[in-house]
Amino acid sequence: MNPDPGTPTSGGNWLAYSLATWFGAGFLPKAPGTWGSLAALPLAWLLLEFVGLYGLASATFLLLAAGVWAAQKYIERSGRNDPSEVVIDEVVGQWLTILVMALFSSFHDSVANYGLAFVAFRLFDIWKPFPIAFAERRFDDGLGIMIDDLIAAVYAAAAGLLLGAVL
């Protein structure tokens, strides 16, 4: 397998490659996960603003399914288990954090909550308290790339909601 998957030109490979790297955000320098999370925010805002919670929920779960597929294709093409440039997991995790926070607060009415959701998600995605690190080590496929970020999102949303209630 090629450690550098290059830019696939066929339809399915191009789509998987684009989704997995969130249209190239995963190739930005230094902290690709942070860039992926940042790149997730504008579309999350648009979804909440124009199609509401159900739109964001639908998009999150559709992107989760597409992300498992895209990450798996990327793994197969690159020959690496968890390539750092694959950031679709951060996008889904960031959207899930925002979705849960929006379900239980007036999230969409406060720009500060986007910052709180971003910081909380990045904290838990990097820190990886149990069972996040366990889940990350347990699976080595497309689902494995996604699952630790889903758990981090739940932790982040809970922390964000608690902190938001205190402030």
pTM score of the predicted model: 0.92
In angstroms, the CA 162 to CA 142 distance is: 31
Question: pLDDT grade, residue 1 (50/70/90)?
Answer: very low
Q: Output DSSP code: residue 110.
A: -
Neighbours of 97 (CB within 10 A): 35
Q: What pLDDT, on the 0 to 100 scale, is given for residue 110? A: 79
Give me the chain's average pLDDT, please: 90
Residue-wise DSSP of 17-83: HHHHTTTTGGGSSS-HHHHHHHHHHHHHHHHHHHHHHHHHHHHHHHHHHHHHHHHHHHHHHH--SS-
The residues near 127 (Cβ < 8 Å, ≥ 6 apart) are none
**pLDDT tens digit string along 15-28?**
999 999 999 999 99
pLDDT at 12: 64
Separation of alpha carbons 76 and 73, rounded Å: 5
User: Cα–Cα distance between 51 and 108 in angstroms, integer?
Assistant: 12
Q: Give pLDDT tens digits for 92-110.
A: 999 999 999 999 987 766 7
Mean pLDDT, residues 113-127: 95
Is 5's pLDDT higher than 70?
Answer: no
Angle (CA) 149 17 15, round 5°: 110
pLDDT digits (tens, 9 = 90+) for 157-167: 999 999 988 87
